[in-house]
Structure 1
């Protein structure tokens, strides 16, 4: 069936955080390559706006995480959910795509279940990691579940839920295409400077948790590695928070907000400290040796430790099936521990090389079916569902 020849579909897309915004933008681009007249509505950020989306409300209203952190925002989140449901009911799109952000997205899918609109959830909820019993709530929430990790279809299959692996979008991120020389020239850095990437997170609610310990770590690191220069890649939305929080650091960091500068910084970097999540895969693709660190509210941590069912937090470690990069979490997220970890990453060449070899194996396993790009595989799955829904019974 020639989908492009059909009446142009209206696809309603929700992204609830910065990483989802990137996925949404690539998905919109891939769909338009196949159906040039495709129209889009929904909620997204800057990247999706650049693809022509007029967001129903700001993405930042949804970008919050943690049990305790969500509580003050419940009323606003409830209003935004009502707005999204009302907009879908009014516009009657041909298909709804929700991207990640399961706390909001799955509630939305449940609320619109009775509208008879095709629903796709992109980025499977990570219930395999914790609260596995939640999988019982999923039947009927979506018509298609698109997974980023190769082991997820088997997990959901064991629970009677069909799921499709489309490959991990980090492979399309360009994180391995940076130019180290350009970074040094752009920021007028001496050749002796050793670049340390610090990635505190993408949400305004989580960034303040890691930046103070990063600052204390740098104070200790000055006596060990005086030529280390910190670089903090963040979104433009989060940058003002970072600027304020780092104003009194012993070494003022370079704050980068553009994708090219971020990838150039990766190419220049000798080591990184990052929160857990997709950032570990970006750094792995760029070949940057790293340690993973994170700190959440103690109450959130208390409950999380009793619910987590996987041996590793860092995605690189989880996919490798072993500890490739150190995980310095909660009580180990301390300035002295982090300083020692950074020193080893810069000074122990064999250790750094071992990490890089493991990265290559992990990334190979994230390639999409039939060597397709992840966004293309996702677009094909979505358009196939749309064509199926449009076909006469």
Structure 2
């Protein structure tokens, strides 16, 4: 059995790796092809090109790289046609993955196509589900309320759980050792400026401003910054004027990252799946995000919900404060973080919402990678 996978960013790479491991346990003869990052490569994938080539988000960010992305698009479709896989599986990154599927289906109409991570049609672009159904047969959903939207558009869909519920976490002893090594007696603030170069560039000055305000209120605070491979150099450059002590984590050291998540008192994070990673580690958070001005103007007319944070959506609360677009400013971000550091009802409400979120995403059940693998194999029967 041959499976062609496409992942375009770090979160998709982790999903893909877990799916590959699950498929190999269920069907040891499986062979993998496609595009992925280090986690998928560790599972045996030889990526066609660096996954980071696809880590672009927002209309204004895509336009300057349009020709390069178009070349990668056709290169990926041609490789898939050559492999003739039993399933072509896009993992998140729907703008790229669905275009590849369309090109492949144009030449091979019977190609079985699946998509892992349902596009957020419940939040914006509701017509996307119907358009997606033209080229996708089956969807693997991370959120429990998504199958109804996909099935209404004509696709089959399984809720497979979110992999964050089964990812390894540091022990209390490892967290304590991490704090001890830093000499952290005061608040330990985690800063997560994003995994894409465009968002890091936009957010870094605002996050730095918020950190200076936090340092003014808590001179004993320390700041830790987990980094991903594609933006590690940029984060180092743009954080030079952030307050100290500032600890930039090695993007290759997964153990250090796990210990940091377990040890942090509060986090300031770009919007995205990282909010679930923080929730899994019970780290109260503040979400800060902004697009390029053009993308922001377009999205403001399309978004249908009053929150973008997955913890809020899954828990059906608004416990996590968000500062988006024009509200993404140092002063309110810092004020919200300081309230969480102080404790009290806001921190307690977040911790409760996080526990509900983890339960609803499948904590305590079969690993989502295995559930996803069973869903893929079931859809191929």
TM-score by length of 1: 0.92
Residue aligning to 1:204: 197
Q: In 2 relative to 1, CA 253–51 (structure 1 residues): closer, same or farther, beyond 3 Å?
A: same
Q: 1:315 aligns with which of 303, 310, 315?
A: 310
State the alpha-carbon separation in 1 of the partners of residues 98 and 171 from structure 2.
35
Residue aligning to 1:352: 347
Matched, 1:195 2:175: no
SS in 2 for 1:37: coil
Q: Give me the CA root mean square deviation.
A: 1.7
Q: In 2 relative to 1, CA 37–43 (structure 1 residues): closer, same or farther, beyond 3 Å?
A: same
Task: Give the drift of 1:209.
Answer: 1.2
State the alpha-carbon separation in 2 of the partners of residues 52 and 111 from structure 1.
26
State the alpha-carbon separation in 2 of the partners of residues 25 and 285 from structure 1.
19
Residue aligning to 2:361: 366
Deviations 1:243-294 (A, max 9, x none): 1111222325211222221121111111011111111111111001111111
Q: 1:153 aligns with which of 142, 147, 150?
A: 147
Task: Give the drift of 1:295.
Answer: 1.4
State the alpha-carbon separation in 2 of the partners of residues 331 and 251 from structure 1.
27
SS in 2 for 1:237: helix
Residue aligning to 2:85: 93
Q: How does 1:173-184 map to 2 (within 5 A)?
A: 173-175=167-169, 177=171, 179-184=174-179
State the alpha-carbon separation in 2 of the partners of residues 48 and 112 from structure 1.
22
Q: 2:161 aligns with which of 167, 185, 209?
A: 167
Runs of 5+ consecutive residues of structure 2 not aligned to the other structure: none
Matched, 1:225 2:257: no
Deviations 1:58-98 (A, max 9, x none): 10110000111110011111100110111111122222111
Residue aligning to 1:295: 290
Residue range with higher mean Cα deviation, 169-178 or 61-70: 169-178
Task: Give the drift of 1:175.
Answer: 4.3
State the alpha-carbon separation in 2 of the partners of residues 289 and 345 from structure 1.
7
SS in 1 for 2:230: coil
State the alpha-carbon separation in 2 of the partners of residues 287 and 320 from structure 1.
14
Residue aligning to 1:106: 98
Deviations 1:22-44 (A, max 9, x none): 11111111111122222111000
Deviations 1:366-390 (A, max 9, x none): 118x93221111101112233x2xx
Q: 1:176, 1:263 within 8 Å by CA — same for their partners in 2?
A: yes
Q: How does 1:1-393 map to 2 (within 5 A)?
A: 9-113=1-105, 114-115=107-108, 116-175=110-169, 177=171, 179-185=174-180, 188-256=181-249, 257=251, 258-367=253-362, 371-386=365-380, 388=381
Deviations 1:103-160 (A, max 9, x none): 1001111111142222211111112210112222122312211111100111223333
Q: In 2 relative to 1, CA 191–201 (structure 1 residues): closer, same or farther, beyond 3 Å?
A: closer
SS in 1 for 2:241: coil
Runs of 5+ consecutive residues of structure 1 not aligned to the other structure: 1-8, 389-393
State the alpha-carbon separation in 2 of the partners of residues 177 and 104 from structure 1.
38
SS in 2 for 1:127: coil
Task: Give the drift of 1:176.
Answer: 6.2
State the alpha-carbon separation in 1 of the partners of residues 300 and 209 from structure 2.
26
Residue aligning to 1:391: none
SS in 2 for 1:163: strand
Task: Give the drift of 1:323.
Answer: 0.8
TM-score by length of 2: 0.94
State the alpha-carbon separation in 1 of the partners of residues 11 and 114 from structure 2.
17
Q: In 2 relative to 1, CA 334–265 (structure 1 residues): closer, same or farther, beyond 3 Å?
A: same
State the alpha-carbon separation in 1 of the partners of residues 355 and 176 from structure 2.
24
Residue range with higher mean Cα deviation, 75-84 or 291-300: 291-300
Q: 2:113, 2:136 within 8 Å by CA — same for their partners in 1?
A: yes
Q: 2:189, 2:266 within 8 Å by CA — same for their partners in 1?
A: yes
